[in-house]
């Protein structure tokens, strides 16, 4: 369910002008004159807990807790690391919220990227489906995503604008600041509490000439700062990169100049979430008389949703199907799809592997990688480029010319944001630890004292509370559980570290299955044990080792008093004990022979 909701606070003013920060005592006193419940209960403390996004890029989820009220900002996923074999993605651990579900007054989603919305379908039912607040495009993407998860309850979504003001519970009043990113409808959340205001930027950059979006409102940002900001929580993803982020319009102009020079087919790989970039490509296609062949499920979904709600505008005839692609001259075609990160199963990878039903690389094709390289994907992307060139294509990427603009503020933009907002306390978020630390150093450069900067780990509790006439912040030693919750197919949280360790063992050293058949009356082995090897050795080329292993297993069974009298006997009368002995002995035997330790799975059959 999506509803339109917009309210004004009773005073009709910016919330931090009503609640204030520690430097505005008169206004803070006015607030507490009408809101004394929390103070009387001794709960005059704001707790800030980040469940994900302080040790990785992804899994973003932040909790603000005051008294017995909680609001949540973002519910994202994290894509698996290389050693997480078979895992689809990782979501935040919400153990801390168990038993506190009724405290949750609302969930704010800053924008529509999966690292901010990807866990919604898995968590909302568990958290008793509190109301949600997000932009129009974000709501469309969330609604589309949760349809794939029938177990998710019907969401109670409120669409927000930059002038929305929302009261959640007694202690949280929210305003929103529209920010630029690589997707429309991105908002920073300004949360006013009884002890001061907190701003969570979400992902942002400062773009003075964005595509299909409003430019950064520096005057509004400065106004928020002038009213007093207690804590700023800001995006750190590009904090290690000097300078200013490139404007999206600059990228569009550069791609337009390329279109003027290219005679053959243009194949563009980019993120499906780069809605602004995709809009620019559609506009250029119509300008240069080209048709677009759109590929990738997420690409098609995002274009459809953005067009439905008016965030993308183009002639429907610009998009062509398989049949039309075959008959249109190459110089009138743009093929736009996903897979610029070299992902298996994505459009570009299918093309170079000759697995796509229609598209194949041919001489004269120009392939534009309009995206940056996500760390860890370098080898896959390089291999993809090599295959494209081998098949006759020409590659253009962002290091050759400006065909990609990042969605995150670089160092000078980050410093400008902090200078305008002038927070008393600063907490870098959304990045690996070295990114957080780099952002913290920038904060010191603009004059924020090091004691007022909190570089936390996931789950580490930050408190802000009144002490006399001051609001004092502290990075405590308290930590809540943020262990990985891994999603594997339909399973959520049922894959443990032990399971991953087993998968890694099988991937590195393989496995063998040992099948021992035993006479149930005498306990003697019947015939030679059967052995099945997968990923360890090729049995036909290692007959001697296989035969030695069989004899070893047969000896173990013979030497084991398997059917000893359970009363006063010393032998094994338990299948599991025999299996454990076979597993340990065979594992050591194979290690001595091969210096590899495959997983050994014994099977005992009594006949």
Q: What is the pLDDT of residue 85?
A: 56
- Radius of gyration over every alpha carbon of the chain, rounded to an integer in angstroms: 30
Can you read off the two tokens belonging to residue 417?
């944001």
What is the rounded distance in angstroms from the CA atom of residue 129 to the CA atom of residue 120? Answer: 10
- Report whether 479 contacts 567 (CB < 8 A): no
DSSP strand pairing (186-193 vs 196-200):
antiparallel
What CATH number did the domain enclosing 318 receive? Answer: 3.40.50.10710
Selection from 395-399, 445-449, 468-472, 521-525 with the highest mean pLDDT: 445-449
Query: Ramachandran region of residue 546, left (φ > 0), alpha (ψ -120 to 50) or beta?
Result: alpha
Model pLDDT for residues 548-580, shown as the tens digit of each residue: 888 888 888 877 765 444 444 444 456 777 888
Mean pLDDT is lowest, of 81-85, 422-426, 517-521, 560-564, for 560-564
Lowest mean pLDDT among 33-47, 156-170, 467-481: 33-47
Query: Which residues fall within 8 angstroms of residue 28, CB to CB, at 6 or more apart?
Result: 19, 20, 21, 22, 194, 195, 196
Does one domain contain both 524 and 543?
yes
pLDDT of residue 81: 65
Rounded-to-integer distance, Cα 118 and Cα 536, Å = 37
Name the percent of the chain lying above pLDDT 90: 42
Q: Half-sphere exposure of 556 toward its Cβ, with a 13 Å CA cutoff? A: 27
Is residue 553 within 8 Å of 513, Cβ to Cβ?
Answer: no
Phi, psi of 39 (to 5 degrees): -65, -40
Domain co-membership, 70 together with 180: yes
Residue corresponding to tokens 């160092």: 411
End position of a domain, from candidates 378, 397, 416 = 397
pLDDT at 84: 60
| pLDDT for the residue 38 | 37
pLDDT in tens, 330-340: 899 999 988 77
Q: Which residues have a Cβ under 8 Å from the Cβ of 485 and sit 6 or more positions away?
A: 90, 91, 92, 93, 492, 493
The answer, yes or no, to whether residue 96 has pLDDT greater than 80, is yes
Predicted local confidence at residue 199, as pLDDT: 97
d(CA 57, CA 435): 10
Q: Are residues 374 and 430 in the same domain?
A: no
pLDDT over 80 at 413, yes or no: yes
Closest CA to 238 of 183, 176, 182: 182
Q: Are 363 and 381 contained in the same domain?
A: yes
Query: Residue 258: pLDDT band by 50, 70, 90 thresholds?
Result: confident
Residue 497: pLDDT band with limits 50, 70, 90: low
Query: Is residue 181 located within the same domain as residue 224?
Result: yes
Residues written for the chain: 607
What does the alpha-carbon distance between residue 332 and residue 563 come to, in Å, rounded to a whole number? Answer: 80
Residue 307 covered by a domain: yes
| Cα(204)–Cα(183) distance, integer angstroms | 10
> How far is residue 206's CA from residue 135's CA, in Å, rounded to a whole number?
19
Average pLDDT in the 586-604 region? 83
CB 453 within 8 A of CB 443: yes
Cβ neighbours of residue 601 under 8 Å, at least 6 residues apart? 511, 512, 513, 514, 583
pLDDT averaged over the chain?
82
Considering 343, 366, 397, which residue would you say is the last residue of a domain? 397
For residue 470, how many other CB atoms are within 10 A of its CB? 12
* Per-residue pLDDT, 66: 96
pLDDT given at position 373 = 62
Confidence of residue 429 (pLDDT cuts 50, 70, 90): very high
The mean per-residue pLDDT over the stretch 159-172 comes to 95
Whether residue 489 is contained in a domain is answered as no
Which of 28-42, 240-254, 324-338, 540-554 has the weakest average pLDDT? Answer: 28-42
Place of tokens 């999206």: 248
If asked whether residues 322 and 426 sit together in one domain, one would say: no
Count of domains forming the chain: 3
For residues 476-483, average pLDDT: 94
| pLDDT of 109 strictly over 60 | yes
pLDDT tens digits, residue range 175-222?
999 999 988 889 999 999 999 999 999 999 988 877 777 888 899 999
Q: How far apart are CA 29 and CA 115, in angstroms?
A: 39
Is residue 362 a contact partner of residue 353, using CB atoms and an 8 Å limit? no
- Identify the three-state secondary structure at position 124: coil
The encoded tokens of residue 551 equal 């004899």
* CATH number of the domain encompassing residue 54: 3.60.15.10
Q: pLDDT per residue over 60-77, tens digit each?
A: 999 999 999 999 999 999
For the entire predicted model, the pTM comes to 0.76
Could you give phi then psi for residue 60, rounded to 5 degrees? Answer: -70, 125
Neighbours of 231 (CB within 10 A): 26
pLDDT on residue 566: 46
Residue where a domain stops, chosen among 449, 478, 507? 478
364 and 410 assigned to the same domain = no
pLDDT for residue 39: 39
Q: How far is 247 from 211, CA to CA, in rounded Å? A: 9
- Sorted by sequence, the CB contacts under 8 Å of residue 181 that are 6+ apart come out as 111, 202, 203, 204, 205, 407, 408
In a domain, 440, yes or no: yes
Q: Tell me the pLDDT band of 18, cut-offs 50, 70 and 90.
A: very low
Same domain, 316 and 349: yes
Report the alpha-carbon distance of residue 291 to residue 95 in Å, rounded: 50
Specify whether 219 is located in the same domain as 357.
no
Same domain, 325 and 460: no
- Taken in order 60, 154, 338, 214, the sign of the CA dihedral is negative
Q: What is the pLDDT of residue 371?
A: 72
Highest mean pLDDT among 7-16, 44-53, 83-92, 394-403: 44-53
Output the six-digit token pair for 489. Answer: 């197919």
Same domain, 415 and 350: no
Reported confidence tier of residue 490, pLDDT bands at 50, 70, 90: low
Contacts of 261 by beta carbon, 8 Å cutoff, 6+ apart: none
CATH number for the domain harbouring residue 537: 3.10.20.580
Residue scoring higher pLDDT (224 or 311):
224
In a domain, 486, yes or no: no
Average of pLDDT values for 479-505? 71
Neighbours of 29 (CB within 10 A): 10
Find all residues with CB under 8 Å of 42, minimum gap 6, and list them: none
Would residue 490 count as lying in a domain? no
Max avg pLDDT among 211-215, 468-472, 594-598: 468-472
Q: Is residue 485 part of a domain?
A: no
Beta sheet of 186-193, edge-to-edge order? 165-168, 172-179, 186-193, 196-200, 231-235, 425-429
Give how far the C-alpha of residue 529 lies from the chain's centroid of Cα atoms, to the nearest Å.
48
Is residue 280 located within the same domain as residue 342?
Answer: yes
Q: Tell me if 370 sits within 8 A of 255, measured CB to CB.
A: yes
What's the pLDDT tens digit per position in 120-144? 999 999 999 999 999 999 999 999 9
- Return the higher-pLDDT residue of 375 and 603: 603
**Which of 258-272, 295-309, 445-459 holds the top average pLDDT?**
445-459
**Do the domain assignments include residue 542?**
yes
Strands 132-134 and 157-159: what pairing?
parallel
Per-residue model confidence (pLDDT) at position 449: 96
Q: Please say if the pLDDT value at position 268 is more than 70.
A: yes
Residues labelled as active-site residues: 235, 408
| Residue 491 belongs to a domain | no
Cα-based distances in Å from 571 to 521, 523, 554, 556, 566? 15, 11, 16, 12, 8
- The answer to whether the beta carbons of residues 445 and 415 sit under 8 Å apart is yes
Tokens at residue 536, please? 């360890």
Residue 412 structural domain: 2-8+17-243+406-478
Greater confidence (589 vs 100) lies with: 100
């Amino acid at each position: 369910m999506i509803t339109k909701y917009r309210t004004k606070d009773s005073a009709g003013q910016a919330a931090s002008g009503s609640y204030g920060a520690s430097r505005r005592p008169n206004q803070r006193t006015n607030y507490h004159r009408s809101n004394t419940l929390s103070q009387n209960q001794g709960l005059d403390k704001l707790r800030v807990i980040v469940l994900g996004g302080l040790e990785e890029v992804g899994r973003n989820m932040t909790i603000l807790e005051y008294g017995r009220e909680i609001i949540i900002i973002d519910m994202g996923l994290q894509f698996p690391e290389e050693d997480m074999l078979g895992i689809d993605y990782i979501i935040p651990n919400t153990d801390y919220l168990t038993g506190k579900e009724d405290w949750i007054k609302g969930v704010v989603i800053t924008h529509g990227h999966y690292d901010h919305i990807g866990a919604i379908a898995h968590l909302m039912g568990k958290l008793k489906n509190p109301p949600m607040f997000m932009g129009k495009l974000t709501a469309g993407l969330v609604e589309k995503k949760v349809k794939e998860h029938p177990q998710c309850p019907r969401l109670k979504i409120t669409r927000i604008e930059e002038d929305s003001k929302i009261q959640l519970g007694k202690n949280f009043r929210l305003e929103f600041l529209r920010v630029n990113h690589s997707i429309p409808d991105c908002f920073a959340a300004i949360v006013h509490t009884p002890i001061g205001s907190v701003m969570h930027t979400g992902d942002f950059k400062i773009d003075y000439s964005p595509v299909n979006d409003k430019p950064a409102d520096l005057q509004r940002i400065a106004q928020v700062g002038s009213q007093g900001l207690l804590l700023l929580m800001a995006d750190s993803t590009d904090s290690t990169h000097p300078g200013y982020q490139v404007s999206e319009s600059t990228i569009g102009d550069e791609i337009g100049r390329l279109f003027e020079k290219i005679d053959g087919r243009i194949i563009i790989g980019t993120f499906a979430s780069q809605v602004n970039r995709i809009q620019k490509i559609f506009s250029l296609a119509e300008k240069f008389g080209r048709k677009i062949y759109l590929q990738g499920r997420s690409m098609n979904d995002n274009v459809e949703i953005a067009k439905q709600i008016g965030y993308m505008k183009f002639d429907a005839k610009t998009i062509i199907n398989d049949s039309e692609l075959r008959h249109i001259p190459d110089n009138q075609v743009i093929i736009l799809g996903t897979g610029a990160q070299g992902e298996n199963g994505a459009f570009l990878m299918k093309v170079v592997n000759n697995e796509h039903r229609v598209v194949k690389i041919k001489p004269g094709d120009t392939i534009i990688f309009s995206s940056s390289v996500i760390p860890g994907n370098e080898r896959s992307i390089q291999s993809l480029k090599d295959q494209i060139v081998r098949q006759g294509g020409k590659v253009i990427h962002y290091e050759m010319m400006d065909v990609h603009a990042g969605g995150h503020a670089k160092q000078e933009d980050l410093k400008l944001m902090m200078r305008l907002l002038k927070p008393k306390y600063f907490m870098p978020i959304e990045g690996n630890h070295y990114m957080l630390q780099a952002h913290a150093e920038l904060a010191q450069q603009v004059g924020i004292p090091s004691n007022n900067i909190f570089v936390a780990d996931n789950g580490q509790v930050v408190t802000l509370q009144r002490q006399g006439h001051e609001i004092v912040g502290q990075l405590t030693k308290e930590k809540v559980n943020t262990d990985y919750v891994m999603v594997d197919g339909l399973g959520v949280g049922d894959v443990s570290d032990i399971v991953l360790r087993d998968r890694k063992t099988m991937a590195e050293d393989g496995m063998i299955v040992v099948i021992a058949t035993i006479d149930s009356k005498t306990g003697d082995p019947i015939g030679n044990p059967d052995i099945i090897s997968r990923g360890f050795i090729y049995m036909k080329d290692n007959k001697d080792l296989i035969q030695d292993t069989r004899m070893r297993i047969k000896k173990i069974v013979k030497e084991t008093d398997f059917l000893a009298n359970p009363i006063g006997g010393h032998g094994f009368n338990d299948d599991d004990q025999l299996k454990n002995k076979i597993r340990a002995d065979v594992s050591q035997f194979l290690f001595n022979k091969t210096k590899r330790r495959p997983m050994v799975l014994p099977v005992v059959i009594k006949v």
